[in-house]
């Protein structure tokens, strides 16, 4: 408890799912939280839940596909709190279940821009502030990228791009004591629930691969791993991928 007291975290896509679970866990550890997303009503509802931990919460409506959104979010964070310590790049839009030969340009643009480019935009915007005292960047990858999930072609490429970007940043920014790591979760976000409900046979097969026999909870299972990566407990860990998936991927 309170191992992140006084620190400030930005969580993109923090209004629901894994983003919200991570934001809640960071707040429970004492961090003040900035959450972004495209829907103001979700952000407001999430903020009420997060603030119950006794921390300050700033909500910013924005789209990770736009560089200006990252710039404005970081600027607003510094104006409000005067610092940035933790950056969680969670936001990702995608259209799953599309065969490789049928992926169109709109799907490519949506997935790459919201995920890979959005992650880069936020990392670039946050860098000048993170390097002042060191910090932690936590990017979200996916088992689909590592494993090569059928129906997830451009999503897989995007998530592997994020992992590659993370490793490069870990090498280039380590001298500033900025740690960059990746979490690949198997958690029940709203998007995951929707997809699994529509594909029950795939859901059954997917679950059978998880050694612990259940899908992860965004707050109880994924959030604490983000706290670990954000805190001094992981001060000597960078450029790594943690598969928070109940034993689905064993590397």
Catalytic residues: 155
DSSP category for residue 102: G
Read off the tokens for 113: 């821009």
Let me know if 132 is exposed, middle or buried by CB neighbors in 10 A (0-12, 13-18, 19+): exposed
Q: Quote the CA–CA distance of 107 and 221 in Å, as a whole number.
A: 30
Let me know if 176 is exposed, middle or buried by CB neighbors in 10 A (0-12, 13-18, 19+): middle
Read off the tokens for 14: 């923090």
Q: Quote the CA–CA distance of 31 and 27 in Å, as a whole number.
A: 5
């Amino acid at each position: 408890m309170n191992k992140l007291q006084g620190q400030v975290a930005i969580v993109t896509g923090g209004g629901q799912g894994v983003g919200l679970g991570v934001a809640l866990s960071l707040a429970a550890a004492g961090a003040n939280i900035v959450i972004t997303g495209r829907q103001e009503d979700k952000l407001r509802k999430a903020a009420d839940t997060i603030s119950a931990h006794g921390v300050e919460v700033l909500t910013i409506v924005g789209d990770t596909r736009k560089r200006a959104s990252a710039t404005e979010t970081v600027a607003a964070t510094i104006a409000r709190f005067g610092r940035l310590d933790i950056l969680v790049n969670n936001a990702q839009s995608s259209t799953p279940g599309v065969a490789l030969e049928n992926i169109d340009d709109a799907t490519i643009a949506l997935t790459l821009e919201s995920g890979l480019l959005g992650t880069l935009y936020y990392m670039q915007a946050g860098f000048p502030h993170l390097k002042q005292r060191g910090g932690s960047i936590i990017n979200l990858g996916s088992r689909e990228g590592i494993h090569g999930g059928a129906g997830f072609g451009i999503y897989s490429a995007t998530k592997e791009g994020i992992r590659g970007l993370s490793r490069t940043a870990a090498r280039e920014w380590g001298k500033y004591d900025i740690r960059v790591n990746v979490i690949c979760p198997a958690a029940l976000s709203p998007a995951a629930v929707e997809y699994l409900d529509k594909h029950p046979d795939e859901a059954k097969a997917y679950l059978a691969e998880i050694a612990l026999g259940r899908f992860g909870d965004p707050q109880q299972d994924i959030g604490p791993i983000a706290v670990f990566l954000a805190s001094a407990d992981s001060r000597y860990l960078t450029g790594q991928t943690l598969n928070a998936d109940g034993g689905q991927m064993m590397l």
